[in-house]
Homo-oligomer: A and B are copies of this chain.
Amino acid sequence: MPEAALRPGSTIGILGSGQLGRMLAMAAARIGLKTHIYCEASGPAFDVATHTTKAGFGDKPALAAFAAAVDVVTYEFENVPVKTAMHLNAQVRVHPPVRALEIAQDRLVEKEFISRLGIPVAPFRAIDSAQDIDAALAELAEPAILKSRRLGYDGKGQASLQPGADCGVAWSAIGANYDCPVNTHENGILRRSVVPSGLPASDLERARELAAAIADALDYVGVLAVEMFHLGPTVPFADRLVVNEIAPRVHNSGHWTIDACAVSQFENHMRAVAGWPLGSTQRHSDAEMTNLIGAEALEWERLAAQPGTCLHLYAKREAREGRKMGHVTRLLPKRGPTS
């Protein structure tokens, strides 16, 4: 039985206080929903939420009070302890499912889960010791990246095993069927997402199917980001797209949807979590989203003056190196249909 839609004025609890939580809270406010941010430390989301709780993810009395104060719980980053999510799930609905969190938290479990669905993944080997590295490199016979199984993000917890072994162009299929952008990365951090991607319609359709298969296998509710590599037109169709990783949450590569779609990834995530009908995911404009990393955000006055540019700043106090401080989306008249 589908859950009844939460009425406007209901409160959505969000675990995590970063910029994704901030943009979720703003999207919720747009449609008359309140938010309650729960996090160990205050952060950008605290400025715009209706309510906030600063407490540890293991603080059971605080979690119980939070669960009692909200109508549903979601999370803005996938490193929320699974224990915390399970604990809350016993008291209040949690969306997306805790299982998705569990899988996304461990890169090895994630790749094995996706493989079992018959979906191609980037070749991988489990590394438990230094000797394993040599064996894996010999088997894979390719440049490789060593990644921690847990707690990595934005290139942290990663090391290139061969210089120059960057994956080049990657791209994401976002659940709820937003158009797939082409992503480019620098130093392991997303630099730019562009729609339309310029990829053939048949590849885009396949990407949507793969993402949908993963979402279905998880009984998923909410926005799911699936990052894939496109290996180029010379690779046979069925092998051309390989899944790299999933994020059970709104994703940086969907920030362009705020400005180029009637309903953004953030609002659609809130709608899904609240049991509402999903809004249109069609884009009305072409878009180029560029992250502002570290000191780049100090250029805000120049960026604010650029025509056709949407500036987003996350109100982080310190522009530390490698830190996502904001993003700009440049809107362009829509060229193609929806590719």
* Partner-B contacts on A (CB < 8 A): 5, 8-9, 22, 25-26, 29-34, 47-48, 50, 259, 262-263, 271, 276-277, 279-280, 282, 284-285, 297, 300-301, 304-305, 307-315, 317, 326, 331, 333-334
Contact = CB atoms under 8 A, between A and B. Distances in A.
Contact of A315 (B8, B277, B308): B8
A312 B271 CA distance: 13
Kindly list the 9 A-B residue pairs having the minimum CB-CB distance in the complex, ordered from nearest: A32-B313, A277-B305, A32-B315, A47-B50, A29-B48, A277-B304, A8-B313, A280-B307, A262-B310
A297 B33 CA distance: 14
A279 B29 contact: no
Instruction: Indicate the member of A31, A297, A314, A326 with the most B CB atoms within 10 Å.
Output: A31
6 contacts: A22-B29, A26-B48, A29-B315, A34-B47, A262-B331, A276-B301
Given A26-B26, A284-B284, A333-B284, A31 B276 contact: no
Nearest to A7: B300
A135 B166 CA distance: 84
B280 A309 contact: yes
B26 A331 contact: no
A29 B31 contact: no
B47 A29 contact: yes
B26 A313 contact: no
B277 A301 contact: yes
Nearest to A302: B277
A33 B277 CA distance: 32
B285 A284 contact: yes
Nearest to A48: B29
Contacts of A262: 259, 308-310, 331
Contacts of A29: 22, 26, 47-48, 315
